[in-house]
């Protein structure tokens, strides 16, 4: 089965995003740069979860752990 390509970190293109933390808590809407800073401070990645014309949702997570759980 072909693995779905995920859009991560600097590949995300948006001006503002709704940020979800690794515990699935909504941290609100903010600039993408601010979301990147929060993820970097926690040593986590940003992964695009949903994108439409007016809403972009990204999640902070450890992408290595995410891939490990997906393969299990």
Burial 27-66 (b: 16+ CB within 10 A, else e): eeebebeebbebbeeeebbbbbeeeeeeebbbbbbeeeee
Task: Give the whole-angstrom CA distance, residue 8 versus residue 12.
Answer: 6
Q: Is residue 37 over pLDDT 90?
A: yes
What tokens appear for 39 in the block? Answer: 């993820």
Residue 61: which pLDDT band, with cuts at 50, 70 and 90?
very high
Instruction: Share the mean pLDDT of the chain.
Output: 90
pTM for the model stands at 0.82
Please say whether the beta carbons of 47 and 36 come within 8 A. Answer: no
């Amino acid at each position: 089965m072909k693995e779905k390509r995920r859009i991560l970190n600097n590949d995300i293109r948006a001006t503002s995003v709704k940020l979800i933390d690794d515990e699935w808590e909504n941290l609100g809407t903010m600039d993408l740069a601010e979301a990147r800073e929060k993820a970097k401070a926690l040593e986590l990645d940003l992964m695009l979860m949903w994108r439409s014309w007016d809403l972009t949702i990204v999640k902070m997570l450890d992408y290595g752990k995410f891939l490990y759980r997906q393969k299990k």
